Chains A and B, each alone.
Chain A
Amino acid sequence: MEWLPLYLSIKLACVSTCALIILAAPLAYVLAYSRFAGKSLLEALINLPLALPPTVVGFYLLVVMGPKGTVGRIWEAATGSPLLFTFLGIAIASIVYSLPFAIQPMKAAFEKIDRRLLESAYVLGLSRFATFIKVIIPNSIAGIAASAILVFIHSMGAFGVLLMVGGSIPGETKVASIAIYEATEALNYREAGLMSLTLVPISYAFLLLINRLNRSKSHGA
């Protein structure tokens, strides 16, 4: 069995998870605690990948990240190399595609925190940022962990969006889901079966972990 696609999938999932935890936390904070015009529009935009076919998300990312797209043009001008069909390109695609999975559990966890705890922190002299770091984050660990696990699983299983943005370049963008698809197309069922079999226990273990987290959260409450 080819191990490189599986390694790439795990690498992609790790990169997406780390990036999204950092990116999603402030966004979830804004959505949980702020009131501003257009908040529901922003929230719907973030959740759009949930409602669209992956190929549609992939198509728009292809356009934006391509040599004629805004992001792709800026990137090429700055680095001299393209963004499409690279590991970084599929990592960005995976981050955009998994963003709602990171935001929702985190936002729910932030919203559950009693507002008076935050007010108590303000009265005790903490700035909003310090309150976020010292009060909100430590009291939302289960929600943040749930976000991380969901993003990891989702990134491991991404297919359409990655294929559109990254194609299938061995060692660069050919992740496990794409390798399984190609092996199946080539009627190499043994290879496809073995690779699928390795993904099942990984995803199952992470889902068990989520259930456990949810149980501990409900017991804690």
Chain B
Amino acid sequence: MELRIDIKKMLPHFDLDVSFVCEDERMLVLIGPSGGGKTTIIRIIAGLEKPDEGSVAYNGETWLDVGKSIFIPPQKRRLGYVFQDYTLFPHLNVYGNIAFSAHDKKDADELLRVFGIRHLRNRKPYEISGGERQRCAICQALARRPQVLLLDEPFSALDVITRRMLRDELKAMKSTLSLPIVYVTHDINEALFLADDILPIVEGKIARNWMQQTITRTVSPETGRSRAVREPRLSLAY
């Protein structure tokens, strides 16, 4: 199973033109400077925006083909989407949010347990912390039993400690999900930590040399892990 994307779209400052494949059980991280078209790509995959040309297909099923006038609406793509900011429904409590579109209501209970937020079950989104809200948002996305999981800078609004904790949780959880995951970030540390594959996007194009140009990579003698020395937050995170 794979997610195949080949899209072109004219944006105000540049043309978006990308083509890539995200394979099953892999996390593909779209990285690049803010305003480079990453969120537009993920929104096109979700069906929230349409490209000028191109196609999006999952496992051979065409979700979008501009040439053939095929457009499957987001409602029918069965995907999980965690947005940049909190988009939990304010009128529902945590359980209501997760069970909102749950395939089976038992899934909602199970997710509450797995993500350690069962005690927040009856709280409203404004009564819980930012980290708890994003945990809840991930549960909400997973409760639908999605075919593809899309995460658009899900931890960007969180403090460093919570962010690191949630990254660890996501990385641990990733191996249990057998679906393609597309993760958008502008944070190099996050990309290096989470990604199975990294795709740098700069001004709407795949810029394979962007990582090398942006950071100088060395190998830490203690851990043998790749480190980016020109990224100041790196020392805090890893």
Contact = CB atoms under 8 A, between A and B. Distances in A.
Interface of A: 114, 116-117, 119-127, 135, 138-139
Contact of B91 (A122, A123, A125, A139): A139
Given A116-B83, A116-B85, A119-B48, A124 B101 contact: yes
B89 interface: yes
Nearest to B150: A123
B92 to A, nearest CB: 8
A51 B47 CA distance: 42
Nearest to B78: A125
Contact of B140 (A114, A119, A124, A138): A124
Interface residues on B, range: 20 to 34
A126 B101 contact: yes
B90 A139 contact: yes
| Closest 9 pairs (CB-CB, A-B) | A124-B101, A138-B91, A120-B87, A123-B81, A122-B74, A116-B87, A123-B74, A125-B101, A125-B75
Contacts of B81: 120, 123
Contacts of B48: 119, 122-123
A117 B89 CA distance: 7
B144 interface: yes
B194 interface: no
Interface in B134-162: 140, 144
Given A122-B48, A124-B100, A117 B144 contact: no
Contacts, number: 48
Contact of A122 (B75, B85, B90, B140): B75
A109 to B, nearest CB: 13
A127 B85 contact: no
B181 to A, nearest CB: 15
A116 to B, nearest CB: 5
Interface in B53-100: 73-81, 83, 85, 87, 89-91, 100
B153 to A, nearest CB: 13
B101 to A, nearest CB: 4
Nearest to A119: B48
A124 B78 CA distance: 7
B46 interface: yes
A217 to B, nearest CB: 13
A127 B75 CA distance: 7
A116 B83 CA distance: 8
Contacts of A124: 100-101, 140, 144
Contacts of B85: 116
Interface string B98-134: 0011000000000000000000000000000000000
Nearest to A117: B87
Residue from A116, A117, A120, A125 with most neighbouring chain B CB atoms (10 Å)? A120
10 contacts: A116-B85, A117-B87, A117-B89, A119-B48, A119-B74, A120-B81, A121-B89, A122-B73, A122-B74, A139-B91
Given A119-B48, A120-B81, A126 B87 contact: no
Contacts of A121: 89
Given A127-B75, A138-B91, 5 more contacts: A116-B87, A121-B89, A122-B47, A125-B144, A138-B89
